[in-house]
Structure 1
Amino acid sequence: MVAGKPRVEQRVRAVVRARLRDNLGERDICLIDISTRGLLATAARPPVRGDFVEIIVGRNRMTAQVKWTSERRFGLLLRERVSIPAMIEGGKASVMLAAARSATAVRGKASADWLNPLVLARAGQLGLMLLAVAGVGMLLTELVAGGLNPVREAVEAASH
């Protein structure tokens, strides 16, 4: 933790046996601190900072990135959120949590879609096409109205 910077979420002290798989092979580790997004672990040979590793707890496999290492301890950032109680129980049940609903998802999926750059680009294209169609419509209206002026004048002359 950076000095003066609060933790993003609460951590729970635990002692959970797990396995770590990296480019050096597979080995035992012990999880000593668990949050839904990260782990503090110990091992005789910690993995290299920045590496992506696989953590095996019970029948569960998780991908994590090594955020820091020391002589025997290391911190892992998990790719998916996990259930702390399921991790503490040794992964007998699934430890993966369902994806959390963001504030935009709560307001509705349509509002979240507008944040997608592809949707924004398509909306811009549609807007330009509508402007072009409106412009062509106005031009045709002027042409048709201008072309009917001689007929209108003849009708007015005949009626007088």
Structure 2
Amino acid sequence: MHQQKPRIEERTQMLARARLRGSGPERDACVVNVSSRGLAVTADNPPRRGEIVEVVVGDNRLVGEVKWSDVRRFGMILRERISVISLISGDSAGVTLKRKEALRREKARAAADRSSIARKFQFVVFAAAGAVATIVAAEFVSDGLQSLNKAKAAMAGQPVVQVKSRSR
């Protein structure tokens, strides 16, 4: 008696129209259950064990190796892990987890780029504000020193020279 290995993860039941490509003509098929690592499919004239086939569900192309086959059904292990939820919901952005991870990384990179630009802009604004504050402080100190020089000259009995104030 043939004993089946325990499954790594449970299969999710579903019914989805598909196209089967592999040896022989392209034909209609139906995905009956799915996990992140494999599919069970019904089709007329299913492929034999060991064949590499492509099952197209909506816009998603799932490639894998046939692990078992009988009169109308076959099971296949996928080359890449997939998101079961994305396949069931008909997500056209891709169901392979590598592609989803790449999209996630791309979005994170774009967000980091936007954040980097914002930080650079913030630095420029703070640098400009610092420069303006430095100029204002220098003017204030300059005016204060002029007043002190006038007071010092007056106390020493020297004539006080009037300096024209800058127009503001």
Per the normalisation by structure 2, the TM-score is 0.54
List aligned pairs for 1:2-81, cutoff 5 A. 3=3, 5-81=5-81
Contact 1:17–1:90 under 8 Å retained in 2: no
Contact 1:37–1:82 under 8 Å retained in 2: yes
- Equivalents in 2 of 1:82, 1:7: separation in Å? 16
- What amino acid does structure 2 have at the position aligned with 1:20? L
- Equivalents in 2 of 1:49, 1:91: separation in Å? 29
Instruction: Tell me which residue corresponds to 2:92.
Output: 92
- Equivalents in 1 of 2:95, 2:66: separation in Å? 19
The 3 A distance-change label for structure 1 pair 66 and 4 is closer
Shift of 1:23: 1.8
Moved segments of 4+, more than 3 Å: 2-5
The 3 A distance-change label for structure 1 pair 26 and 4 is closer
The Cα offsets for residues 99-131 of structure 1, whole Å up to 9 and x where unpaired, read as 8xxxxxxxxxxxxxxxxxxxxxxxxxxxxxxxx
- Equivalents in 1 of 2:39, 2:32: separation in Å? 8
The 3 A distance-change label for structure 1 pair 39 and 75 is same
- Equivalents in 2 of 1:42, 1:93: separation in Å? 25
RMSD (Å), alpha carbons: 2.0
The 3 A distance-change label for structure 1 pair 26 and 11 is same
Shift of 1:4: 6.4
Instruction: Tell me which residue corresponds to 1:82.
Output: 82
- Equivalents in 2 of 1:75, 1:7: separation in Å? 13
Aligned residues: 99
Structure 1, unaligned stretches of length 5 or more? 100-160
Shift of 1:98: 2.5
Among all aligned residue pairs of Structure 1 and Structure 2, give the percentage whose two residues are the same amino acid.
Answer: 48
- What amino acid does structure 2 have at the position aligned with 1:6? P
- Equivalents in 1 of 2:16, 2:89: separation in Å? 8
Greater Rg by CA:
2
- Equivalents in 1 of 2:50, 2:20: separation in Å? 15
